[in-house]
Amino acid sequence: ETAILANKFRGCLVSAVLGDCLGAPYEGEESEEISKVVLQKYFDKLEGPYFKSPQKMYTDDTSMTKTVAESLIHIGGFDAKDMADRFVKEFYKDPRRGYGQNVIDVFAKLRKRTTDDVFLPAQEQFGGSGSYGNGGAMRIAPVPLFCHKSYDNMLHVAKQSTLITHSNVLGINGALLQCIAIHQSLALNPDEPLDVKKFSSDLKRKMSVIEETETSDDDSDSEAGNAYVEQLEAMDKLLEKDLGGIPISDEEVERTLGTSVAALHSVPTAIFCFLRAQNPIPDIKTDNIVRRTLQYAISLGGDTDTIASMAGAIAGAFCGYEAINENVQKHCEGVEEAISAADKIHSIIEGS
């Protein structure tokens, strides 16, 4: 039982790194520009007999995920100031990782700050509306691992850790959705076929609770409404089509769910990639669900590193580390650190 969980923790964090490293070269490209044949060859080559080549570098997604894990491990729990300080330190140590501009501004303010309120700089962004980018969601993976025994505490830590850089309700709820999706995957047996409809209806039920709470205790802007539940409903329609044998074009996914840096237009997309990848996808030749998830996520274009990283985290939490091709791991920077962080988190929570 505990060995299975340890394996899933590694699977989650390692697949998140693979999605970031493998997706980064395609970030910002349109899906039409990404040839499915070339992408198939890219993965085949990386999975094939090991060959020496420069490592694919990780980006901000992995830098920040690593930092979230380090803070939770170091403190043995969540501490906003420790996490904020570590984000800032990591950014100034290694700034050229493709961070979003808004986040860079937040780090500059955090570094110069004169108060202990580490949430203030994020709240001031975008004229006070805060960032709705996917930066909270892209780094959330260590939270559902660390807090997997307590759902309520998990949501609390997910929200607080996101608020350090993203205070817009869409940025926060995107991180919560990604967190819940990983949490659900951790609880499932990968030897049994995944119940796609149940996975989605569970997500929708939990998100509707979150979105109802958000709207009632925040009278100033209730415009967020049930944006994520609506996205999940749109996702269901696409998945139903797929299960009914009706082809789904990349253009349709892009138009319905989106592939942008906005959390609302990338987190549901990542979940969709994972769920669709439970079954074969045209032009993707592999039996491996983690690879199919990553390859499909990248093929959709847009914010490829982040969507593949988020989709990968969910897929890896479901399938476990043993499902991940060893050769691919050697081509990606940051895999050893992800394994070590997963093992440390596992030993902390099993020891308690």
Interacting residues toward ligand 8NA by CB under 6 A: 27-28, 59-61, 98, 100-103, 126, 129, 131-135, 138, 168, 261, 303, 305-306
Ramachandran bin of 283, using left for φ above 0, alpha for ψ from -120 to 50, beta for the remaining angles:
left
In sequence order, which residues have a C-beta less than 8 Å from that of residue 122 and are 6 or more positions away?
106, 130, 131, 163, 164, 165, 166, 167
- Contacted by 34, from ligand 8NA, Mg ion, none: CB < 5 to 8 Å by type: Mg ion
Rounded Cα–Cα distance for residues 302 and 307 (Å)? 9
Residue selected from 239, 303, 313, 335 as contacting Mg ion according to rule CB under 5 A:
303
8-state DSSP, 118? T
Closer to Mg ion at the Cβ: 59 or 184? 59
Rounded Cα–Cα distance for residues 282 and 295 (Å)? 11
Number of residues that bind Mg ion (CB under 5 A): 9
CB of residue 267 vs ligand 8NA: minimum separation in angstroms?
11
- Contacted by 90, from Mg ion, ligand 8NA, none: CB < 5 to 8 Å by type: none
Our finding on whether 266 is near Mg ion (CB under 5 A) is no
Asked if residue 308 lies in contact with residue 20, where contact means CB atoms within 8 angstroms, the answer is: yes
Our finding on whether 295 is near Mg ion (CB under 5 A) is no
CB of residue 25 vs ligand 8NA: minimum separation in angstroms?
12
What tokens does 63 get?
């830098």
8-state DSSP, 263? G
Give residue for tokens 């899906």.
31
CB of residue 289 vs ligand 8NA: minimum separation in angstroms?
24
CB of residue 126 vs ligand 8NA: minimum separation in angstroms?
4
CB of residue 31 vs Mg ion: minimum separation in angstroms?
4
Closer to ligand 8NA at the Cβ: 131 or 269? 131
The enclosing H or E element of 27 equals: none
Asked if residue 147 lies in contact with residue 157, where contact means CB atoms within 8 angstroms, the answer is: yes
What residues from 32 to 51 belong to the interface with Mg ion (CB under 5 A)?
34
Closer to ligand 8NA at the Cβ: 195 or 221? 221
Closer to Mg ion at the Cβ: 60 or 90? 60
Rounded Cα–Cα distance for residues 289 and 320 (Å)? 11
Closer to ligand 8NA at the Cβ: 135 or 320? 135
| Amino acid at position 104, single letter | I
Binding residues for Mg ion, per CB under 5 A? 31, 34, 59-61, 98, 303, 305-306
